[in-house]
Structure 1
């Protein structure tokens, strides 16, 4: 393995690791690979990378050893390391790679500084003490594939979540399906202004339940997981309501042309 072909990216939650990697993945001139260790095969970041950069190969952890051992000469691999993973595990310490830490500019010393070959300035956010004496933030995920959410209810849930109604939220990211067939991405970082919404530019799904990944990931403290899950479920459209939305859309747009009109069941 050539260490110049593999880049390991680490840093605190919300600092901008995914955003930094996304800039590099726009290069279509060479084979690109992306792996998010420790998140399994279904995660918001993994799905978002696949949706936004279809030319990038998404690696599972099972595939990684074989692919990394047989990389094409011009290939580039980006491994995004979650805050909850130990950088001293054998896989990370023995992997020939270039180590990059994306860190807040105001953070002058940390374990990431000592670990990294290069430090990249990211979002200037507050960083909790992640040492042994401090409890790590919780990571909670909810798979929503096949679910379509009521937009006003989803807006209310996101405002409540980020406002601390169900625990202290440091980081929230999600992919959600809307009744008009669109899928969009939501991003929130404690300490930065507002909730970011982004269209994923996927083909509209307007017949039956979407058969593509959607879900929510939350990082924080004292998360009321059961209440969050129940509230999310209540915002999901029932079969008959979703069918009404899709039927009305087909009646209003028989040729499948998009407009900004709002359809209500």
Structure 2
């Protein structure tokens, strides 16, 4: 069995848990593992981190205990818990019990169960999330390619209250030019983050990699969000057209350089 350093990270939605983990991963010399408990079928944070840190190994909930109990190597393991997970009913495998517990919370957060649970409190990003009223909506859209202009319009509408009061929104989206982007919105910050992921450009049909969206808020019109997002996706004919245009452009650039 390994003697890996395991860090569990909790906190409110949008407070900066994944950002804090990424900053720490960048300074770790030993091999690193990441698991997001509660992500379900929408591993947005895991996809983002894997794209930004190629040497990172992402594990599923089913893999983590087997890996830790069978591996003899030492790893730096970061396990991120969704804000919606009830810490009082959380039962950790014996391989994870011996860990450091960190809570990333907005400035001025009053005493919460996260304070009671954590050993270390990190001051994160200001948010206005209220757990008692929050609504969580997720949707995996793997294989879909979005029209950039339509996606920008959808994201603007979403983050400006067209579909309800949004406390947090994030997503992984594949665009028509073959690139994948991470979108991240937290109210109170100057603007959304739009980060191009370090992934291969996809120009051969529908992508065989995860994409999806997560929205946290109040009075969300989930059917309207889903429908508008669907309307922003390209059909097979449009995908083939755009991909052919990109291929021709890239071929022309290579020819000009030679």
Q: What TM-score, normalized by structure 2, do the two folds share?
A: 0.90
Residue 247 of structure 1: aligned partner? 244
> In the superposition, relative to structure 1, how do residues 71 and 126 fare at CA in structure 2: closer, same or farther (>3 Å)?
farther
The 5-angstrom pairing of residues 68-217 of structure 1 reads: 68-72=68-72, 74-92=74-92, 95-128=97-130, 130=131, 134-135=132-133, 137-217=134-214
Task: Report how far residue 50 of structure 1 moved.
Answer: 1.9
> Structure 2: how far apart are the matches of 1:145 and 1:245?
18
Q: For residues 229-259 of structure 1, what are the alpha-carbon distances to aligned partners after superposition, in whole Å with 9 as ceiling and x for unaligned?
A: 11111111111111111222223331565xx
Task: Report how far residue 174 of structure 1 moved.
Answer: 0.6
Q: CA RMSD in A?
A: 2.1
Task: Report how far residue 54 of structure 1 moved.
Answer: 2.3
> In the superposition, relative to structure 1, how do residues 90 and 81 fare at CA in structure 2: closer, same or farther (>3 Å)?
closer
Residue 263 of structure 1: aligned partner? none
Q: Is the 8 A contact 2:16 2:125 kept in 1?
A: yes
> Structure 1: 5+ residue runs without aligned partners?
258-265
> Structure 2: how far apart are the matches of 1:67 and 1:120?
28
Question: Structure 1 residues 210-219 or 10-19, which shifts more?
Answer: 210-219
> In the superposition, relative to structure 1, how do residues 108 and 2 fare at CA in structure 2: closer, same or farther (>3 Å)?
farther
> Structure 2: 5+ residue runs without aligned partners?
none
**Between Structure 1 and Structure 2, which shows a larger proportion of helix residues?**
2
**How many pairs were matched up?**
252
Q: What TM-score, normalized by structure 1, do the two folds share?
A: 0.88
> Structure 2: how far apart are the matches of 1:244 and 1:206?
10
Q: Which runs of 4+ in 1 moved over 4 A?
A: 1-4
> In the superposition, relative to structure 1, how do residues 244 and 4 fare at CA in structure 2: closer, same or farther (>3 Å)?
closer
